[in-house]
Amino acid sequence: MDFNATLFGQSIAMIVFVWFCMKFVWPVLMGMIEERQTQIADGLAAAEKGARSLELADVEKARVLGAARGQAREIIDQANTRAHGIVDEARTSADQERERILAAAQAEVGQEVNRAREELRGQVAAIAMAGAEKIISREINVTTHQALLDKLAAEI
């Protein structure tokens, strides 16, 4: 084994070959590697984003649910109030109706009493007139004493 120019030739060829690999082979491999890195990084980022939006959706869900629950309570409260209002109103109107009917009945009774009294008064006057007429028919003229009798009847 001895050294000669072969070593130079091979070394020059090796340098050219290494240059070739740097220029054409290495970038291809690096491209593959970097593409893979980007894909993985993108995938992880997308997963992260998905997880975060899920979290946000959970928060939103809780918010919407709370709001709906509050609204439902409000509606129930309103309905209760309304129901009480209706019952009260009905009671009030029923009371008024009762009083009106009562008043009407009393007024009717009063009228009835007045009418009966008026009738009675007329009848008393007539009875008194008949009695007095019978008692004093002979000496007292009906027509002369009519004013006196009317006065008497009004006093009853």
Interacting residue ranges for another protein, rule: CB under 8 A: 1-14, 16-17, 20-21, 25, 29-30, 32-34, 36-37, 40-41, 44
CB nearer another protein, residue 41 or residue 107? 41
CB nearer another protein, residue 11 or residue 78? 11
Q: Which 3-state string (H, E, C) describes 73-110?
A: HHHHHHHHHHHHHHHHHHHHHHHHHHHHHHHHHHHHHH
Closest C-alpha to 127, from 91, 95, 106, 156: 156
CB nearer another protein, residue 44 or residue 57? 44
CB of 78 to another protein, least distance (A): 55
CB of 71 to another protein, least distance (A): 45
Report yes or no: 153 and 128 within 8 Å, Cβ to Cβ.
yes
CB nearer another protein, residue 2 or residue 139? 2
The Cβ of residue 108 has, within 10 Å, a number of other Cβ atoms equal to: 10
CB of 69 to another protein, least distance (A): 41
3 DSSP assignment: -
The amino acid present at 116, given as its one-letter code, is A
Q: Please report how many Cα atoms fall inside a 13 Å half-sphere around the Cα of residue 62, on the Cβ side.
A: 5
CB of 51 to another protein, least distance (A): 14
CB nearer another protein, residue 29 or residue 57? 29
CB of 21 to another protein, least distance (A): 8
CA–CA separation, 37 and 24 (whole Å): 20
